[in-house]
């Protein structure tokens, strides 16, 4: 489909430059922010209500999502989470492009998953156009507190990202990665698997 025949929403999801202040997208953002507000106001003891509400925010959700308040996102409908998803307080997902999260993923407090980008050239950036690049997080991944994942990143199954890391490039499966920028420290090994079984 030619870009001139696409809606701004279609361009956004396709990872093309789009105008974020187009009326439909503004409405979509307000709608999901209202849902996030309602979710964040549900009492912690009302676990069933919280689960039901977060499932109305995510585009697709597996079983047993558990998200601590506060949680905020841009659209919600571009977020897919698998079974047994857990996020501690302060998760922010800027889902202008698809965010796919596998099964049994844990996130520490204040994590940020950011698909949104802006042109580096100031004149182009000031035009109001922006873009997004998808993020994929595999199954059995653990993000430590205050991890930031930038556009276009894939994190492989079973990987652990150390607290405070800024993930600028994709990280393979079954490793420990840390730092700013985040780099692989080492593979997860048999000693790690045996450590807590003593």
Q: Which residues are catalytic?
A: 118
Rounded (10°) CA dihedral 84, 85, 86, 90: -160
* Distinct helix (H) and strand (E) counts, the chain: 5, 20
The position carrying tokens 């409405």 is 27
**Beta strand spans in 125-164 (E):** 129-132, 135-137, 142-143, 148-149, 154-155, 160-161
Question: Comparing C-alpha atoms, which of 131, 195, 141 is closest to residue 165?
Answer: 141
For strand 66-67 and strand 60-61, is the pairing parallel, antiparallel, or unpaired? unpaired
95 and 29 Cβ atoms separated by less than 8 Å: no
Non-local (6+) Cβ contacts of 42 within 8 A are 49, 50, 53, 69
């Amino acid at each position: 489909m030619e870009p001139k025949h696409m809606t701004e929403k279609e361009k956004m999801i396709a990872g093309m430059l789009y105008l974020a202040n187009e009326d439909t997208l503004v409405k979509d953002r307000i709608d999901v922010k209202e849902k996030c507000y309602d979710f964040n106001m549900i009492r912690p003891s009302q676990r069933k209500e919280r689960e039901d509400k977060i499932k109305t925010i995510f585009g697709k959700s597996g079983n047993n999502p558990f998200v601590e308040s506060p949680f905020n996102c841009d659209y919600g409908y571009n977020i897919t989470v698998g079974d047994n998803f857990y996020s501690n307080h302060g998760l922010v997902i800027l889902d202008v492009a698809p965010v796919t999260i596998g099964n049994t993923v844990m996130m520490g407090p204040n994590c940020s998953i950011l698909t949104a980008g802006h042109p580096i050239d100031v004149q182009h950036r000031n035009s109001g156009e922006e873009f997004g690049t998808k993020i994929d997080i595999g199954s059995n991944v653990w993000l430590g507190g205050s991890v930031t994942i930038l556009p276009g990143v894939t994190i492989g199954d079973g990987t652990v990202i150390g607290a405070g890391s800024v993930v600028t490039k994709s990280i393979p499966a079954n490793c420990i990665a840390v730092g700013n920028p985040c780099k692989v420290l080492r593979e997860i090994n048999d000693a790690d698997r045996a450590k807590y079984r003593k």
